[in-house]
Structure 1
Amino acid sequence: MVAGPLHLVLALGLVAGCASSTASTDPAPGPVPGTVTTVPAAPSPSAEPGSMPSPTTSRTPGTVTTVTPPPSSAPEPTETPVRAVAPPSGAFLALEDLPVAAAGTMSDYDRDALFGGWIDADGDCEDSRNEVLARDLTGITSADGCRVDTGTLADPYTGASIDFVRGVATSADVQVDHVVSLGNAWVTGARRLSPADRVALANDPLNLLAVDGPANGSKSDQDASRWLPPNRAFACEMVAVQIAVKSRYGLWVTAPEKTAMAEVLSGCPDQQLPGGTPFGDIPGGAGTAPAPAEEVPTEEAPVAPAPVPADVHYANCTAAREAGAAPLLRGEPGYREAMDGDSDGVACE
């Protein structure tokens, strides 16, 4: 190398030193084209070494996300109560077994000739009427042990309480009803019964009931399609008795009668058939020693009123009923002792 003047060498040295100083303060040169620079990712400020990254709401393609819907504001369905309906039984089934036919004629109906009067079936001096009174009344009294003199009836037809006093003017307040009337029985098959069976039907305790007199008169020979008791709470039992009686004696029902019975029983599908309530005992009756009578002052017996002369004559109770005159009281026109089966002063009860 050719050495130059000294001042030139010094100048070149100064220039080279300034260049080195300036280069040390400039930013690092960028990557050289064609090279790859790896820069480590800076950790999250909140992250700690070894901790898992926080989940994000972004979904990775190909993954399944289960989304739970918010609770519905619609009301939850409630259970609807179901009314349990009992299967038909007892009276309902017996009604289905009864034959259905049209009613026969009443033109040849004569109650007394066909069915007779009250009888003393067990020979204890009590006829069927008094047996029923002894069974259905409470607090009964009897002077002779054969006839009921007083008592109290809880009337099934009206629901009323009736004080019964035997006598010309009061006996008819309580009457003994044939629940299946004998007229209805006649037109629904009783004409085929033997005379003995007809008498049995007329005196069967299953078919007899002590009831309010006026209510019995209102019922008359009507069936369930035309008459039900004012006390509707007793309708089921009354209809069940009628079905039981008709089943026992082989009688039929008319179509309207069956419909009415079914409507009544729809309100009491578990109504059973009655088996028949035995007759009651009258105090002092046969087989029972009468209580000693208390001594009371003797009073003159009242004289029965003389019969009122009458132009009215009824051949029998059927004629009196058809004329609307029954029951007949002693002393009234048309009354005859022969028509008063129990001699209580009331004929054709």
Structure 2
Amino acid sequence: MPSRRRSRRTRRISLPTLLVIVLAVAIWVYLYGPEGTSSEAGDGWFPPGPSAAASDAPVHRAPIDPATLDPDLAALVVAGPSSTSPYDRELFGAAWADVDGNGCDTRNDVLIRDLVDLVFRADSNGCIVRTGTLHDPYTGAVISFTRGPDTSEAVQIDHMVPLSYAWQHGASTWTDAQRAAFANDPANLSAVDGPANQSKSDSGPAEWMPPRGEYACTYVDRFAGVLLAYGLTIAPEDLDAIAAVDAGCPA
């Protein structure tokens, strides 16, 4: 009898199934792939040198030490709102632009500076913070940051001198380029607790102060320092609030 050959059917993966698999792998690598550089110190600054050049790693801003600020409050110019034109965020340029050309947007620059235990997105060349920990200066809380549509808002970037405040106290006369530089100046930015930032909104020191009292001296120093650096005026009630705090600060 002639032998019977058992026919074998080749299993083929359909194109739609293959595309689903490829997409799933891509998403996994994007979210959970090789981790980027972590920062133990948390300042995110990498001094230029052979290792940085070899890897083309971005050089981030050196951390700012607000404690070194000692603004001359007597030099502040007191004035009420100076602009009759309504404030518009777009007048300060695109949010979180890469104004310093280091390859990272301003929001991530500040996260890198202010957070610790950083983990970067694998494909971001050390720019996009995926996770980290914030020791919040405003509340004293320790906040775990995870990048995502439902989690990123736990840590927000606060303009120490709000953009709308700056608009009313001199920025309305600036050029677009000057306003964009101000909106992205790290001296006026801090990574903070999201709800605290929302509570502050566009308030000056007379209306809002950090819930953590230990930070009040640094807060008013930075607020006044930014006004002086940019030639902005201050509302009389805000100067009174700053002076009251400053009177109790260490010399």
Which residue is equivalent to 2:151?
Answer: 170
Instruction: Tell me how far 1:269 sits from its aligned partner.
Output: 4.8
- The change in CA–CA distance for 1:226 and 1:116 in structure 2 (over 3 A counts) is same
Give 2:131's aligned amino acid: T
Deviations 1:98-151 (A, max 9, x none): 110112357511012334321112323210000000000000000222210000
Deviations 1:157-196 (A, max 9, x none): 0000000000011000000100000011111111122211
Q: In the aligned structure 1, how far is the partner of 2:91 from the partner of 2:186?
A: 21
Q: Which has the higher helix share?
A: 2
Q: Which has the larger radius of gyration?
A: 1
Which residue is equivalent to 1:45?
Answer: none
- Corresponding pairs, count: 181
Which residue is equivalent to 1:215?
Answer: 196
- The change in CA–CA distance for 1:102 and 1:122 in structure 2 (over 3 A counts) is closer
Deviations 1:35-87 (A, max 9, x none): xxxxxxxxxxxxxxxxxxxxxxxxxxxxxxxxxxxxxxxxxxxxxxxxxxxxx
Which residue is equivalent to 2:170?
Answer: 189
Give 1:231's aligned amino acid: R
Aligned-partner SS, 2:144:
strand
Q: In the aligned structure 1, how far is the partner of 2:79 from the partner of 2:250?
A: 24
Give 1:111's aligned amino acid: R
TM-score by length of 1: 0.50
Pairing 1:150–2:131 present: yes
Which residue is equivalent to 1:236?
Answer: 217
- Could you tell me which of 94, 110, 116 is aligned with 1:138? 116
- The change in CA–CA distance for 1:90 and 1:170 in structure 2 (over 3 A counts) is closer
Q: In the aligned structure 2, how far is the partner of 1:186 from the partner of 1:115?
A: 13
Q: Percent identical across equivalent pairs?
A: 47
Which residue is equivalent to 1:161?
Answer: 142
- Could you tell me which of 135, 160, 180 is aligned with 1:179? 160
Which residue is equivalent to 1:307?
Answer: none
Deviations 1:318-338 (A, max 9, x none): xxxxxxxxxxxxxxxxxxxxx
Aligned-partner SS, 1:256:
helix
- The change in CA–CA distance for 1:191 and 1:164 in structure 2 (over 3 A counts) is same
Q: How does 1:171-320 map to 2 (within 5 A)?
A: 171-270=152-251
Give 2:136's aligned amino acid: D
Q: Could you say what the CA RMSD is over the residues aligned between the two structures, in angstroms?
A: 1.7
* Consecutive unaligned residues in structure 1, runs of 5 or more: 1-88, 271-349
Runs of 4+ in 1 over 4 A off after TM superposition: none
- Could you tell me which of 98, 123, 127 is aligned with 1:120? 98
Give 1:138's aligned amino acid: V
> For the Cα contact (< 8 Å) 1:91–1:243, is it kept in 2?
no
Deviations 1:175-218 (A, max 9, x none): 01000000111111111222111111100010010000000000
